[in-house]
Amino acid sequence: MHSSSRRSHDVSAVLPENATSLDVFRAYPNTARPLVDYHQVLLRGPSPLTVAERESDPSDA
């Protein structure tokens, strides 16, 4: 990719210093959609694990 075709984003102008995932999704909805779709496939798609097992925090074990 040519450097002239790269787009530079100053996220500090768009996002607060303590931004959450929701802030990023709101600021960049076109980019967020594929991530949300992927998340749904991972957590809700076919799996030998239950939804609860997939949503649990492994550090809680």
**Per residue in 1-52, pLDDT tens?**
444 444 556 666 778 889 998 998 888 889 888 988 998 888 888 999 888 8
**pTM summary value:** 0.51
pLDDT-derived band at 61, boundaries 50, 70, 90:
low
CB neighbour class for 1 (10 Å; exposed up to 12, middle 13-18, buried from 19): exposed
Q: Is residue 36 part of a domain?
A: yes
Q: Is residue 37 part of a domain?
A: yes
Q: How many domains does the chain have?
A: 1
| Cβ atoms within 10 Å of 39's Cβ, excluding its own | 10
pLDDT of residue 7: 54
Q: Is residue 61 part of a domain?
A: no
E strand residue ranges, 1-61: none
pLDDT of residue 48: 92
